[in-house]
Amino acid sequence: MRHDCAYRSRLFGSVHPAHTVTILPTMRQNFLRKREDFNMATVGFQANIKPFFTPCYRSHMLAVSGLDLWDAGQVKDNWDDINSEVASGSMPKPGCPEGVWDKTTQALFLLEFLAWKNGGFQP
């Protein structure tokens, strides 16, 4: 099947599909949970936040700034900065094979990240 990048970019936005990650099945499941099940207190770092931070993202951020994205305490302490870097589309930067986040993944991260904070930063 022919892949028409111009057509695909109209469908999926301006980022080339080869440089976007598709949303992981577990994240999609979380996203599709029934509204009444979406209790903020159920959003935990290990189950909901850490899966967004791939080993490559983690090692890049450790290398460039010493920020350990797998350390819930550090992520909590840098919540505002991480939130605005992701919200502005600045992070994650290209540099890992999994690429940058598409709009759906970005929006889902921001939703879960806010729920994690509002739920009291559950482990």
Count CB-CB contacts under 10 A for residue 101: 21
Task: For residue 44, list its beta bridge partners.
Answer: 122
Which of 52, 37, 50, 45 is CA-nearest to residue 122? 45
Name which of 40 and 91 has its Cβ closer to ligand HEM: 91
In the structure encoding, which two tokens stand for residue 121, read together? 């930063």
Name which of 90 and 118 has its Cβ closer to ligand HEM: 90
Within 23-62, which residues bind ligand HEM (CB under 6 A)? 53, 57, 60-61
From the list 5, 8, 33, 81, which residue makes contact with ligand HEM (rule: CB under 6 A)?
A: 81
Name which of 10 and 16 has its Cβ closer to ligand HEM: 16
Q: Tell me the window of 6-14, 19-27, 38-46, 63-71 that interacts with ligand HEM (CB under 6 A).
A: 63-71
For the four alpha carbons of 82, 100, 107 and 10, in that order, the dihedral sign comes to positive
Cα separation, 13 vs 20, in Å, equals: 10
Q: Residues 92, 53: contact at Cβ < 8 Å?
A: no
Residue closest to ligand HEM (Cβ): 95
Write out the residues near ligand HEM by the rule CB under 6 A: 53, 57, 60-61, 64-65, 67, 69, 78, 81-82, 85-86, 91-93, 95-96
